[in-house]
């Protein structure tokens, strides 16, 4: 399996260094034969190539089996005509990574303020309120007058169908319950179609129970009782916001692993951003990228029918639980270790498994 590694901005390089060590150790331990090929995106690519991402990089990623994308300083990339392209958007759009899978769970050894829970947000990744990926050319956010902006939200039946299918398939491997999160009371057409399509897809999964919740009410429900939820399917922006909340409710945004998956390609990427407030201080939690790497291995194992990759992914996830239980982790999740030291403790446990 060949994986392109793009360390990214802010806390990207320090957390990706740990994730890379974990991938290499898993490769040795489970005989995966991983080949890691390092390149640049974000600020480093802007300096070297005049753009945060390049078509040559996209070709390279397409020729590989997976991508690990570090956090990107998206907020600083304002003008695409000067090469300041949002790398997350670029890969999600051009690799057609329609599903963003964002698990959130509590771990033994950490204080679970809201009780234990284990859920997954399945977020549509290619349209919705994300104006930078909604049209073939031009933008779908327009300055009508200096004081008026219109941002278009695109919802298509095809994207509703495929994200619903991803959610129901995932639910079949879990507790067989899907919650549709929407704003159909206001966005009657777009979210109306989203709910109807999800329920229609759900008919092919009669064992899976379904409910739906309006997004604003969901913020209260998930804080009150996150254990009520198993798989949550929602549109792009609602999923982005909700999954930051669920990651933080699980203990820290630093536990927010995520996979961006399409039919042919997949990209592991932390749910959080580049966290400039803690960059370069050796305090960022590498767990989100470690989990994202495990999800990428699991995706590849499922695609190829190769159990070694699934075993490696399960071992990485179990090792994370062990390190948290032993408080061999960063401060945000109850430990005392720095990023590098948490990585070293993780490797010791993974190789001893
Ligand atoms: P960006 O502009 O790139 O989105 P941000 O700081 O606005 O960066 P996040 O990077 O998502 O947004 O960070 C939100 C908060 O969560 C910050 O206080 C940050 O320090 C914290 N955080 C994010 N990632 C981690 C991590 N891996 N470990 C510990 N804390 C984190």
CA nearest neighbour of 90 among 46, 122, 48, 121: 46
What does each C-alpha distance from 206 to 84, 86, 199, 217, 321 come to in angstroms? Answer: 46, 39, 11, 26, 33
Evaluate: CB of 324 within 6 angstroms of ligand 1.
no
> Could you tell me if residue 269 is inside a domain?
no
Question: Each residue of 187-232: pLDDT tens digit?
Answer: 999 999 999 999 999 999 999 999 999 999 999 999 999 999 999 9
In a domain, 201, yes or no: yes
Copy the structure tokens of residue 127: 């349209």
> Which sign does the torsion angle of CA 117, 127, 275, 223 carry?
negative
Task: Check: CB of residue 119 under 8 Å from CB of residue 106.
Answer: no
- Tell me the pLDDT band of 274, cut-offs 50, 70 and 90: very high
One domain for residues 280 and 240: no
Token pair 């033994």 in the structure block, residue: 108
Q: 276, 304, 269, 308: which is closest to 290 by C-alpha? A: 269
Residues 54 and 117 occupy one common structural domain = no
pLDDT tens digits for 34-55? 999 999 999 999 999 999 999 9
Q: Do the domain assignments include residue 257?
A: no
pLDDT at site 336: 96
Q: Count Cβ neighbours within 10 Å for each residue of 152-189 and write b for 16 or more, e otherwise.
A: ebbbbeebbebbbbbbbbbbeeeeebbbbbbbbeebee
Name the closest-CA residue to atom 4, ligand 1.
273
CA distance 288 to 171: 22
Residue 61: give the domain boundaries.
1-91+275-352
Share of the chain above pLDDT 70, in %: 100
244 and 332 in a single domain? The answer is no
Residue from 249, 272, 289 whose mutation best tests the ligand 1 pocket (most atoms within 8 A of CB): 272
Which pLDDT score, from 0 to 100, does residue 19 have? 98
Clarify whether residues 227 and 305 are in a common domain.
no
Ramachandran bin of 334, using left for φ above 0, alpha for ψ from -120 to 50, beta for the remaining angles: left
Q: Are both 182 and 217 inside the same structural domain?
A: yes
Q: Which of 217, 250, 283 is the last residue of a domain?
A: 250
Residue 111: per-residue pLDDT = 84
User: Would the pLDDT of 138 be above 80?
Assistant: no
pLDDT for 113: 86
Q: Is the CB of 329 under 6 A from ligand 1?
A: no
Nearest to 1 by CA among 296, 290, 344, 220: 296
Q: Is 54 found in the same domain as 10?
A: yes
- Read off the tokens for 15: 């957390």
Mean pLDDT for the stretch of residues 152-159 = 95
Task: Confirm or reject: Cβ of 273 under 6 Å from ligand 1.
Answer: yes
Contact yes or no for 32/96 (Cβ under 8 A) = no
Same domain? For 79 and 162 the reply is no
| Model confidence pLDDT, tens digit, residues 109-120 | 888 889 999 999
Position 136 confidence tier, pLDDT thresholds 50, 70, 90: confident
Question: What is the whole-number distance in angstroms between the Cα of residue 308 and the centre of ligand 1?
Answer: 33
**Is residue 135 domain-shared with residue 184, that is, in the same domain?**
yes
DSSP strand pairing (266-269 vs 259-261): antiparallel
Domain count across the chain: 2
Please tell me the predicted confidence (pLDDT) of residue 154: 94
Could you give the CA distance from residue 147 to residue 142 in angstroms, rounded to a whole number? 11
Quick one: which atom of ligand 1 is closest to the CA of 248? 16
The finding on whether 271 has its CB within 6 A of some atom of ligand 1 is no
> Using CA atoms, how far apart are residues 87 and 74, in angstroms rounded to an integer?
8
268 belongs to a structural domain: no
CA nearest 262: which of 54, 93, 104, 135?
A: 93
Q: What is the CATH number of the domain that holds 179?
A: 3.40.718.10
72 CA closest ligand 1 atom index: 3
Q: Tell whether 239 and 137 lie within a shared domain.
A: yes
- Atom index in ligand 1 nearest the CA of residue 74 equals 3
Same domain, 285 and 241: no
Ligand 1 neighbourhood includes 333 CB (under 6 angstroms): no
Residue 255 lies in a domain: no
């Amino acid at each position: 399996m060949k994986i392109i590694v793009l360390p990214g901005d802010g806390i990207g390089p320090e957390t990706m260094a740990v994730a890379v060590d974990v991938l290499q150790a898993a490769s040795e331990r489970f005989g995966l034969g991983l080949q890691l090929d390092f390149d640049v995106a974000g600020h480093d690519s802007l300096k070297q190539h005049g753009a945060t991402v390049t078509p040559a990089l996209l070709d390279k990623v397409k020729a590989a089996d997976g991508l690990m994308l570090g956090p990107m300083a998206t907020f600083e990339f304002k003008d695409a005509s000067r090469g300041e392209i949002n790398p997350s958007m670029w890969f999600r759009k051009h690799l057609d990574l329609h599903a963003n899978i964002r698990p959130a769970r509590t771990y033994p050894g950490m204080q679970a303020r809201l009780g234990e829970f284990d859920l997954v947000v399945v977020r549509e990744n290619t349209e919705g309120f994300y104006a930078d990926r909604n049209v073939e050319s031009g933008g779908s956010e327009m300055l009508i007058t200096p004081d008026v902006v219109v941002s278009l939200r695109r919802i298509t039946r095809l994207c509703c169908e495929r994200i619903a299918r991803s959610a129901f398939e995932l639910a079949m491997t879990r507790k067989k319950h899907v919650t549709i999160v929407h704003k159909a009371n206001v966005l009657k057409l777009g979210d109306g179609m989203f709910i109807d399509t999800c329920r229609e897809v759900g008919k092919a999964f009669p064992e899976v129970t379904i409910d739906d919740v309006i997004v604003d009410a969901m913020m209260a429900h998930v804080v009150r009782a996150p254990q009520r939820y198993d798989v949550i399917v929602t549109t792009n922006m609602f999923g982005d916001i909700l999954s930051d909340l669920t990651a933080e409710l699980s203990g820290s945004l630093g536990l927010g692993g995520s996979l961006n998956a399409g039919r042919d390609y997949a990209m592991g990427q932390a749910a959080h951003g580049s966290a400039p407030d803690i960059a370069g201080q050796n305090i960022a939690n590498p767990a989100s990228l470690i989990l994202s790497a495990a999800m990428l291995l699991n995706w590849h194992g499922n695609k190829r029918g190769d159990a070694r990759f699934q075993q490696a992914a399960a071992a990485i996830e179990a090792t994370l639980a062990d390190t948290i239980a032993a408080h061999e982790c960063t401060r945000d999740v109850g430990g005392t270790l720095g990023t590098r030291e948490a990585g070293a403790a993780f490797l010791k446990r993974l190789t001893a498994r």
